[in-house]
Structure 1
Amino acid sequence: MTTTTWTKSLKALMCTALVLPAFGLAGVSSTYAAGETYKIVSFGDSLTAGYEPDKAQADYYGFVPRLAEQASFHGRSEVDNYGISGLNSAGLEHYIEAIRAGTNTTADAIQAGLRDPNAAVFAADTAGIRADVAEADVITITIGGNDLLPLITGSQLPTAEELTPKVEALLQTYAVNLGQVLGDLREINPNARIVVADQYQPIPAIAAKSLYATLNQAAAAYTSTLSGVVTAQNAAGAHIETVNMTPLFIGREMQLTHIARRDIHPNQTGYEVFAKAFSEQIWKEYRTPSAPVPAATVAVVVSGTELNTAFKPILKNGTTFVVLRDITDALGAELKWNNKAATASIVVDGRSVSIPVGKKAITVNGQETAIPIAAFTEKVNGVSKTYVPLAVLADGLGFDVQYTPRLRTVFVNR
Structure 2
Amino acid sequence: MLNFCKKTLVAGASSLLLFSVLIGAGAGSANAAEAAIVSQSPQQDVFRIVALGDSITAGYEPGMTESTKPYGYAERLLEQGWYHGRSALNNYGILGLTTTGLSNYTEAIRQGTATTPDGIQAGLPDPRIAQFAALVPQVRAELTEADLITITIGGNDVSSLLLQAGELSEAEFASKVEQLLAVYSSNVKASLENIRSINPQATIILADQYQPAPKIAAGQTYTKLMSAAERFTAAAESVVASVNQNGAPVLLAHVAAQFAGVEGSLTHIIGAGDPDFHPTQLGYEKIARVFTELQWGAYRTPAVAAMTSAAVPMAIVVNGVELNTPNKPILKNGQNFLALKDVLNAVGATGKWDNKTSSATIIYGGRTVVITIGAKFIKVNGANVAIDTPAFLQKVGKEDKTYLPLAALATGLGFDVNYSSQLRTAFINP
Instruction: Answer whether TM exceeds 0.5 for this pair.
Output: yes
Q: Describe how 1:228-307 pairs up with structure 2 within 5 A.
A: 228-234=238-244, 238-259=248-269, 261=271, 262-292=275-305, 295-296=310-311, 297-307=313-323
1:368 aligned partner, one-letter code:
N
Conserved 8 A contact 2:58-2:72: yes
Distance 1:204 1:158 in 2: 19
Conserved 8 A contact 1:253-1:259: no
Distance 2:45 2:248 in 1: 23
Conserved 8 A contact 1:254-1:260: no
Deviation of 1:235 after TM superposition, in Å, equals 5.3
Conserved 8 A contact 2:62-2:270: no
Deviation of 1:382 after TM superposition, in Å, equals 4.1
Distance 1:356 1:410 in 2: 23
**1:137 paired residue number:** 147
Q: Matched residue pairs, number? A: 381
Conserved 8 A contact 2:292-2:299: yes
Conserved 8 A contact 1:395-1:401: no
Distance 1:155 1:237 in 2: 41
**1:44 paired residue number:** 53
1:137 aligned partner, one-letter code:
D
Conserved 8 A contact 2:161-2:225: no
2:114 aligned partner, one-letter code:
N
Determine helix, strand or coil for the equivalent of 2:138. Answer: helix
Determine helix, strand or coil for the equivalent of 1:79. Answer: strand
Determine helix, strand or coil for the equivalent of 1:65. Answer: helix
Distance 1:242 1:233 in 2: 11
Q: Once the two structures are superposed, what CA deviation does each residue of 1:282-304 show, in whole Å capped at 9, x if it has no partner?
A: 11111111345653432211111
Q: Once the two structures are superposed, what CA deviation does each residue of 1:167-196 show, in whole Å capped at 9, x if it has no partner?
A: 111111111111111111011000010000
Determine helix, strand or coil for the equivalent of 2:374. Answer: coil
Aligned-CA RMSD value:
1.8
1:365 maps onto 2:381 in alignment: yes
**1:99 paired residue number:** 109
**TM superposition score normalised by structure 1:** 0.88
Deviation of 1:356 after TM superposition, in Å, equals 0.8
Higher relative contact order (CA 8 A, sep 6+): 2
Q: CA separation of 1:393/1:205 partners in 2, compared to 1, >3 Å: closer, same or farther? A: closer
Q: Once the two structures are superposed, what CA deviation does each residue of 1:162-221 show, in whole Å capped at 9, x if it has no partner?
A: 211111111111111111111110110000100000011112222323321121111111
Distance 2:169 2:361 in 1: 74
**2:161 paired residue number:** 151
Conserved 8 A contact 1:51-1:60: yes
1:309 aligned partner, one-letter code:
T
**1:172 paired residue number:** 182
For residue 63 of structure 2, the aligned residue among 48, 54, 71 is: 54
**2:334 paired residue number:** 318
Conserved 8 A contact 1:160-1:211: no
Q: CA separation of 1:399/1:308 partners in 2, compared to 1, >3 Å: closer, same or farther? A: same
2:327 aligned partner, one-letter code:
F
Distance 2:170 2:282 in 1: 30
Determine helix, strand or coil for the equivalent of 2:49. Answer: strand
1:264 aligned partner, one-letter code:
F
Q: Once the two structures are superposed, what CA deviation does each residue of 1:294-338 show, in whole Å capped at 9, x if it has no partner?
A: 534322111111121101011122322122221211121111111
1:85 maps onto 2:95 in alignment: yes
Deviation of 1:156 after TM superposition, in Å, equals 5.4
Once the two structures are aligned, what percentage of the paired residues are identical? 49
Q: Once the two structures are superposed, what CA deviation does each residue of 1:235-261 show, in whole Å capped at 9, x if it has no partner?
A: 597420000111111111111101265
Q: CA separation of 1:318/1:158 partners in 2, compared to 1, >3 Å: closer, same or farther? A: farther
Conserved 8 A contact 1:133-1:188: yes
Distance 1:205 1:219 in 2: 14
Deviation of 1:60 after TM superposition, in Å, equals 2.4
For residue 223 of structure 2, the aligned residue among 205, 210, 213 is: 213
Of 49-58 and 349-358, more deviation after overlay is shown by 49-58
Q: Hey, which of these two has a bigger chunk of helix by percent?
A: 1
Of 159-168 and 299-308, more deviation after overlay is shown by 159-168
Conserved 8 A contact 2:267-2:277: yes
Conserved 8 A contact 1:152-1:158: no
Determine helix, strand or coil for the equivalent of 1:322. Answer: strand
Distance 1:336 1:216 in 2: 64
Conserved 8 A contact 1:257-1:263: no
Gaps of 5+ in 1: 1-33
Q: Once the two structures are superposed, what CA deviation does each residue of 1:345-388 show, in whole Å capped at 9, x if it has no partner?
A: 00112111100112222101110122222211122344322212
1:380 maps onto 2:396 in alignment: yes
2:148 aligned partner, one-letter code:
V
2:346 aligned partner, one-letter code:
A
